[in-house]
Amino acid sequence: MTQNNKFPPNGEAISIGDLANYNHLYELRWNFELILTNNSEITAYRLRFPEHEGIKVTIEPAFDYTFPLAPNARRVYTLTATIPYESTPAEADKVVKEGPASVLRIEYENIKGRRYYTDFYAKEKDETKKNEYGVVE
């Protein structure tokens, strides 16, 4: 988490203790290990991550959507999510603990071009409910 302080606009002097009462501009950042596993017997083509509003996502190594994911194959990436956020320090701490998004969507195609998705719910405790699958309409 990095921050840029915004002090009272009128330039008045404040004490160190008062800093927690003022909004600061933060760049909140989370790093995740992302493991993509194709648990089917069908190759997944044109994998992509739709944009999440307000969240900048970078993936390393660079994600090449033209590279198919073979049946039962897996790939490991580092995913970084970044959000600009203006708040008090206490509010920013709450957001950091909650995480950048409640769901991560991955979309992919079969060989005929039909689009599918998998939604991953990282905070879900029940393993049977962590992933939701469907057809992209």
| Euclidean distance between CA atoms 79 and 91, whole angstroms | 24
Q: Which amino acid, one-letter code, is at 31?
A: N
- How far from 103 is each of 49, 100, 112, 120, CA to CA, in Å? 11, 9, 27, 5
pLDDT category at 10 given cuts 50, 70, 90 is low
Q: Report the chain's mean pLDDT, rounded to a whole number.
A: 87
| Euclidean distance between CA atoms 129 and 124, whole angstroms | 7
| Euclidean distance between CA atoms 125 and 19, whole angstroms | 37
**Contact present, 109 and 45 (Cβ < 8 Å):** yes
On the question of pLDDT at 4 being above 60, the answer is no
Strands (E), 39-112: 45-48, 56-60, 74-87, 104-109
Give the model confidence (pLDDT) of 85-114 as tens digits. 999 888 999 999 888 888 899 999 999 999
Question: Six-digit token pair at 7?
Answer: 């002090």
Q: What is the pLDDT of residue 123?
A: 83
Q: What is the pLDDT of residue 11?
A: 63
Instruction: Give the mean model confidence (pLDDT) for residues 22-28.
Output: 88
State whether residue 130 is helix, strand or coil.
coil
pTM confidence score: 0.75
Question: Six-digit token pair at 52?
Answer: 């999440």
Q: What is the pLDDT of residue 44?
A: 95
Q: What is the pLDDT of residue 48?
A: 92
Closest CA to 83 of 122, 49, 56: 56
